[in-house]
Amino acid sequence: MPKTEVYDVIVIGSGAGGGPLTFELARGGARVLVLEKGPRHTRKELIHDEIKICRENFFVPYEEDEPHVLVYGDGGKPTRSKQGWIACCVGGGTVHMSGFFLRLKPEDFQLHTLLGDVDGANLADWPIGYQDLAPYYDRVEHVVGVSGKAGVNPFEEPRSGPFPFPPLDEHPIAKEIDTVCGKLGYHAFPLPRAILSRPLTAPADDAQPDRGICSYCALCGSYGCETGAKGSTLASVLPLAEATGRCEIRPGCMVYQVEVDARGRASGVLYFDGEGREQRALGRTVVVACSAIESARLLLNSRSSLFPDGLGNGTGLVGQNLTFSNHRDGFARFDYGKQSARPWLSSKEPFVHRCVQDFYFSPSQDVPKGGTLSFLLAHENPIGNAEVQAISFGGDLTFGKQLKDRIRHRIRGALNLSFESFCESLPNPGMHVTIDPDVRDRWGIPSARMTIAHHRYDLLAAEAVHKKGMEILKALQPDETWAPFPFGESMILQYGTCRFGKDPKTSVLDATCRSHEVPNLYVVDGSFMPNPGGVPPTMTIMANSFRVGEAMAKAFKRRELPG
C-alpha cells in the first residue's frame, strides 16, 4: 500500500464521541480525517419505513455479515448476535437516537465514594467532577440544540442558565402525570430533548448548517430526522467541521488496526475501503470513537511486537468493566371509548416529555442508587407493536384471530402510555469484551465477544425503580397496566471498556481520555465512563468530546499535541 499524506489527527467513528471533538479540532486549525465504517445518509434516505430502516441493515449490519458473540454468565454458550451494534453510518447512533439529553448528577462522578466497597463490584470515582464537565454540557445544549425547561426539577444539576430552546409541544396526558405525581409526593418535569423546537440562531463563530425545526412526526427513536431538527452529529457538528475546510469524512471505511511506530506511538491506521481494498492512513494523533464494544475490539485486535495483547492493554484492562444502562419498563392502556371521562385522549400530540428522578437515589430501603423514569407514548412501528402483542402475554405465542383482536383492542382502540427506566449498573469482573477465538466478520476480522453477568445490585435497582413507575401508571387509573418484559440491559447504551482514571494500574486512559501507554492515542466514546449513572449517555459523551477536543485543539495551537 502506498503511503499517503499525514493528517494531524485521525478520528475513527463519527457519532457522539467523534463528532464534537472533530469540530473542535478542525475549528482549532488541525487537519482531521474522519473514518466511518458505514455510509453517509442524506435526509431523503431517512424515511419512515419500518422494514427498510428497522428490519434490514440500514443502521446495523446483518448478523451473518458482522456478528458479535454473546455469552451469558460464566460458562455460557457463545451465541452469534447483532446485539451490541449502535449504528454504522456517518453520525453513528446520534442519527437514530430519541435525543433524551439529561445530565449526570454530581454524585455520579463519585460512585465509589458514594457506595464504598461493594462486594463483587469494581467501582471507581471519575478523575474529573461535574464542575469540569458542566461548561461542556452547556456547549452541547447551544451548539447541538437542546429544548427544555430549567428550574422545575427539584433534583436538577447546577446550571449556568436556561435551556437555549423552549420545550417541545406535549400531549395533555403530561399534565395528568404531573397531577398524580404531585399527589404521590413525586416531581415530574419536562424531558430535555436534542430537538429544535424553534429555529436555530448560532453564535457568530459557529455558522450552523441548514436545520429545520421539529415536525412532530413521532418517530425520533429508531429513525433519522428528515428536517435536521434532531441534534445528530450528522446534522450539527460534522457539517461545521467540514465548513472549516480542514475536515475530510470518508464513509465506508472499516478500520481494523491502529499501527504503531518503533517508539510505540500510534502512526496511522489500516482499513478496508468501500470497494474492499486495503488502505492505510497516516496521522500524528489517533482518536478512537467506535463505541465501547467496537473500540475495545479494535484496540485488542491491534496487536504488535510492542503490544502483544492489544494496543494500550499492558494492564489487561481494555475490554474490562463493560456496563450497560439497565431497565425494566411498564405499560398502561387507556381505551378511546372512554373519551368523555378523558377528553385528553383526542389529542394527536406525539410527545409526553415527562421524567421523574425522585428515585435517582435510594429507590428502596436496600438500594442506594436508582435512576430515571421517562414517560412516552407507544412507538408507532406496526410490526414491533404486533410482536409485543404476540409474545408478551400469558407466556405462549399468540397468532391468528386472537392476535388480530388483541392488536385491534390494545393498539388501535386505545392510547398506550409507557415508561422507560435508566438505571445504574455496577462494573464487575463478569462483564467484559474480548476477541472471539473463532468468529470473524465478512472482512475476516475477529469479532467482539461480550460476556454478560450482571451484579445482583443491577437487578435490585431496576426492579425498585420499575415498582415506582408502575405505581405512577396505576395512579392514572388506566384500563390496564402490564409489564411484559423482565429485567434487561440496553445494549445500545454501553460504557466502560477503556475507562479513564488517575492511576495507570487501574485505568486505560488518563483524565484527558489519552492512553496511559500510548501518548498520542485517545478514546472518546462511552468507553471512558467508569459507570453509566441513571440517565442516557449521549449528552455526557458529547460533552466530554467537546472537553477533550477543546484541550487537544489548544495543545495543537501550542504545537504540544502529542504525535
pLDDT of residue 392 exceeding 80, the answer is no
Mean pLDDT (whole number) for 528-540: 97
- Burial zone of 202 (CB within 10 Å; 0-12 exposed, 13-18 middle, 19+ buried): middle
Per-residue pLDDT of 287-332, as tens digits, reads: 999 999 999 999 999 999 999 999 999 999 999 999 999 999 999 9
Amino acid at 344: W
What pLDDT sits at residue 204? 40
| Residue linked to cell 461548561 | 135
Amino acid at 470: M
| 3-state secondary structure at position 468 | helix
For β-strands 68-72 and 367-369, DSSP reports them as unpaired
What pLDDT sits at residue 335? 95
β-sheet bridge partners, residue 509: 500, 515
pLDDT of residue 203 exceeding 60, the answer is no
204 or 502: which carries more pLDDT confidence? 502
pLDDT of residue 110 exceeding 70, the answer is yes
Nearest CA among 563, 502, 551 for reference residue 25: 551
Q: What's the grid cell of residue 284?
A: 500524528
The helix or strand, by DSSP H or E, that contains position 436, with its residue range, turns out to be: strand 432-440
128 or 338: which carries more pLDDT confidence? 128
Q: What's the grid cell of residue 557?
A: 495551537
| 3-state secondary structure at position 532 | coil
Per-residue pLDDT of 256-286, as tens digits, reads: 999 999 999 999 999 999 999 999 999 999 9
Q: Can you spell out the DSSP letters for 234-290?
A: TTTHHHHHHHTT-EEEE-S-EEEEEEE-TTS-EEEEEEE-TTS-EEEEEEEEEEE-S
Q: Can you spell out the DSSP letters for 71-92?
A: EESTTPPPEEESTT----STTG
Which of the following CATH numbers is that of domain 6-557: 3.40.50.620, 3.40.1000.10, 3.40.50.150, 3.50.50.60?
3.50.50.60
Of the listed ranges 215-219, 233-237, 339-343, 353-357, the one predicted with least confidence:
339-343
Of the listed ranges 308-312, 344-348, 473-477, the one predicted with least confidence:
344-348
Task: Sort residue 244 into left (φ over 0), alpha (ψ -120 to 50) or beta.
Answer: alpha
Mean pLDDT (whole number) for 352-363: 96
CA–CA distance, 253 with 234 (Å, rounded to integer) = 17
pLDDT of residue 201 exceeding 80, the answer is no
Of the listed ranges 3-7, 203-207, 400-404, the one predicted with least confidence:
203-207
Per-residue pLDDT of 59-109, as tens digits, reads: 999 999 999 999 998 788 999 999 999 999 999 999 999 999 999 999 999
> Are 63 and 70 contacting, i.e. CB atoms less than 8 angstroms apart?
no
Question: Which of the four pLDDT bands, split at 50, 70 and 90, describes residue 208?
Answer: low
| 3-state secondary structure at position 8 | strand
What pLDDT sits at residue 365? 86
What pLDDT sits at residue 2? 52
pLDDT of residue 207 exceeding 70, the answer is no
Angle ∠(451,287,277) on CA atoms, nearest 5:
85
Torsion of CA 433, 299, 99, 533, to 10 degrees: 50
3-state SS of the chain: helix, strand, coil percent to 5? Answer: 25, 25, 50
Mean pLDDT (whole number) for 134-159: 97
The helix or strand, by DSSP H or E, that contains position 325, with its residue range, turns out to be: strand 323-327
Mean pLDDT (whole number) for 447-461: 96
Q: Using a CB cutoff of 8 Å and minimum separation of 24, what contacts does 439-442 make? A: 439/67, 439/69, 439/78, 439/80, 441/65, 441/66, 441/67, 442/65, 442/66
What pLDDT sits at residue 217? 93
440 or 412: which carries more pLDDT confidence? 440
CA 439 to chain centre: 26
Taking CA atoms, 352 is separated from 171, 177, 192, 349, 464, in Å, by 5, 9, 11, 8, 23
Torsion of CA 534, 528, 500, 319, to 10 degrees: 110
CA–CA distance, 159 with 133 (Å, rounded to integer) = 11
pLDDT of residue 543 exceeding 90, the answer is yes
> Are 415 and 345 contacting, i.e. CB atoms less than 8 angstroms apart?
yes
Mean pLDDT (whole number) for 179-187: 98
Q: What's the grid cell of residue 262?
A: 518503533
Mean pLDDT (whole number) for 415-434: 96
CB atoms within 10 A of CB 3: 9
Mean pLDDT (whole number) for 425-436: 97
What is the average pLDDT value for the chain, to the nearest integer? Answer: 94
